Amino acid sequence: MSLAVLKSRALAGMEAPEVSVEVHLANGLPSFTIVGLPDTEVKESRDRVRAALQNCGFEMPARRITANLAPADLPKESGRFDLPIALGILAASGQLPSEQLQHYEFAGELSLSGQLRPIRGALAMTFAMQRSQSGPPRAFILPRANADEAALVRDACIYPAHSLLEVCAHFAVPNGQAALQRHQPVLAAQAFTYPDFADVQGQLQARRALEVAAAGGHNVLMVGPPGAGKTMLASRFPGVLPPMSDDEALESAAVHSLGGHFKVEHWKRRPYRAPHQTASGVALVGGGNVPRPGEISLAHCGVLFLDEIAEFQRRVLDVLRQPMESGIISISRAARQAEFPARFQLIAAMNPCPCGYLGHASGRCRCTPEAVLRYHSRLSGPLLERIDLQIEVAAIPPAALGRHAGSGESTQAIAARVAAAFSLQLARQGKTNQRLSSTEIEQHCRLETHGEQLLDGAMSRLHWSARTYHRVLRVARSIADLAGSPAIMQPHVAEAIQYRRVLHEI
């Protein structure tokens, strides 16, 4: 037979559309052509495949070889098509039995010696394969280095291989059961180690605010002088977040798999991303000629920490506004569009003024009011509206340092209260308070009379928008959940209001 058809997958954002790899051998001058909108990496498969076949002892047919990657209008990138192209040549030239190939999908980059190298997006490809199958289920043959992440997809049939020779041996034996064995994921229960909140001295209000944020999924801005402990607090925040569900863990792992960053030992560990102030908008939201996830997507179901947020370019920060509301980011390029999840918690930190010491007991600050105003204006009003808790982190007096070392509440104790409040939210509304819609706020965030009067007065006095009003209600609901209260009382509202007043008072 001079034609062989195999199945593989491309990547288009979080999607992995099916690709038919058609290999045809025809008479004529020897040549090797790959068609179907391949990019440079795919075109280079010709040299890798030729060398791999020869070094594995196979014959490279001296014929006119055409490999078509269908559909033709779908861009193809990376070396994941090396393996199916090589197998297609062997099947079309009669060097490999082709009867069982239709029951499998293939992906893998070949070295010149025929070894299989890992690829990006194995988890997304496996998930798409399982979700799209309507007929008999297919198995997936891919590099052994990708086997653990691909096997995270429930009920997926994964056959890992070290080399092209192993794959060929699998089909050379009747029923294809000799060379490759089905891979089973090994996911032992893991207890992740996080820095402990007990190491933090003082900062009771900041610790309380982070507890409220963790319970309800809220965004936080910490304002304070250098050395007050803002970064220290943020680094301990992931340790008090509720455990990841299986669906959250799979979504997060799929995003990291697209970037080639996923590690099985981090399964169900909340992501913590801390990009530098020099990061561009593309670095944060993702992009490129072949769209890839940015920092906000890599922080999906976890924490995005922006230290010295006022030092980021304002236009870069403003790109966060839409994904903070919707939980997704859509990237459009001339030829490609991609959509990535971006449901993250923003923890930001900044100084109160350009020198950092406004209001400090030392009196070191010499910044003019105009300089302070310009510094604060680097954070736009619409962005600040989307940050639920805005708190002051004051400097610890030197006399207090060391007196209470290790006496603070531990991460474990805080996490227990957060988990209890999170369970109340799931039982009541099936989601965190931060994700409540306007209709759901009216249903689940009703105030008693005194609390409603207090909130109405604060809204008039501070000139809040409707968005801010709803965000304060969500925070008050989280405070009530931490207290185990079915109703939102006046003290809960008062605490929620004070978390919105820091930048108004500076």
Q: What is the pLDDT of residues 228-272, one digit of tens each?
A: 999 999 999 999 999 999 889 999 999 999 888 888 888 999 999
* pLDDT score, position 361: 80
Give the mean model confidence (pLDDT) for residues 275-292. 89
Q: Which residues contact 418 (CB under 8 A, 6 or more apart)?
A: 211, 214, 215, 240, 241, 242, 482
Give the Cα separation of 246 and 105 in Å (integer). 25
Most confident of 44-48, 98-102, 257-261, 373-377: 44-48
Give the Cα separation of 15 and 244 in Å (integer). 22
Q: Of 278, 279, 318, whose CA–CA distance to 298 is shortest?
A: 279
Give the mean model confidence (pLDDT) for residues 262-291. 90
User: What phi and psi, each to the nearest 5 degrees, are found at residue 301?
Assistant: 65, 20
Question: pLDDT higher for 376 or 503?
Answer: 376
User: 394 near 356, Cβ under 8 Å?
Assistant: no
**CA-CA-CA-CA torsion sign (466, 468, 473, 478):** positive
* pLDDT score, position 176: 46
Angle at 57 between CA 52 and CA 60, to 5 degrees: 65
Evaluate if residue 189 carries a pLDDT over 80: no
**pLDDT tens, position by position, 448-481:** 889 899 999 988 888 888 888 999 999 999 999 9
Nearest 10 degrees: Cα torsion 209, 212, 218, 220: 10
Question: pLDDT higher for 403 or 313?
Answer: 313
Q: Which residue has the tokens 């069982």?
A: 100
Give the Cα separation of 270 and 301 in Å (integer). 7
With cut-offs at 50, 70 and 90, classify the pLDDT of residue 112.
very high
User: 16 near 133, Cβ under 8 Å?
Assistant: no
Evaluate if residue 331 carries a pLDDT over 50: yes
Evaluate if residue 126 carries a pLDDT over 90: yes
* pLDDT score, position 290: 78
Give the Cα separation of 112 and 96 in Å (integer). 20
Evaluate if residue 504 carries a pLDDT over 80: no
Q: Give percent above pLDDT 70 in the chain.
A: 94
**What mean pLDDT is reported for the chain?**
90
DSSP per position, 82-120? HHHHHHHHHHHTTSS--TTGGGEEE--EEPTTSBEEP-S
